[in-house]
Amino acid sequence: MSASPRQQLLELLQHGPRGSASQAGDRVRELILELEAGQPADLQAAGAPELLEGVWELRWSSSRQPYLATTPWLENLQLLAPSRGLALNLLRLAGPLGPLAGVAVEARIRIVTDRRVEVCFQRGGWLGPRLGSSRLQLLRTVQQPFPAWLDITVLDQDLRVCRGNAGTLFALVRRGDLSLADLWPGPF
């Protein structure tokens, strides 16, 4: 019995080559299209906002932007807390040095349709290590000249696929080993 498209995609994202330039990129796209058709997300369904909440790691992106590249030595994390209307993109080193510093962008988020999440970026900059209950940080106000959004097209306990307003396709896996409270720059 062959693995389902979801299982195949998770296997590629978890263990296969990473990045949009890899040969696996075409297969990732095929599997995403199949899942979007057969397992579409509905953010207004019971329990969907709770599924969205948590720490997600970008494992594949169609973008060629360096900050959206996926590499083994970087963690490109997205912290989502729709229950509080908050999100945080966090880029940091993988491994034991990760908690020491990262680059972050905070945003307000709001679910606006069965697929769409509106994103309003607020602050961005450097996050340092935790010192007791606080965290060293240098965050500045972000000027967002246009409205941003993400369409969540596939969502389950372990997998999230989304399309950005610039046409970028993203595949993320849940990081159950990380918590929102531990990674958030301030009190959560």
The model's pTM is 0.91
Q: How many domains would you assign to the chain? A: 1
141 part of a folded domain: yes
Q: How confident is the model over 49-96, as pLDDT tens digits?
A: 999 999 999 999 998 887 787 888 899 999 999 999 999 999 999 998
Which band of pLDDT confidence, cut at 50, 70 and 90, is reported for residue 22? low
Whether 188 is covered by a domain: the verdict is no
Written as six digits, the tokens of 55 are 């720490």
Q: What is the CATH number of the domain that holds 142?
A: 2.40.128.280
Residue 42 falls inside a structural domain: yes
Q: Are 127 and 186 in contact (CB under 8 A)?
A: no
Structural domain of 179: 5-183
Q: Is 85 left (phi over 0), alpha (psi -120 to 50) or beta?
A: left
Residue 71 lies in a domain: yes
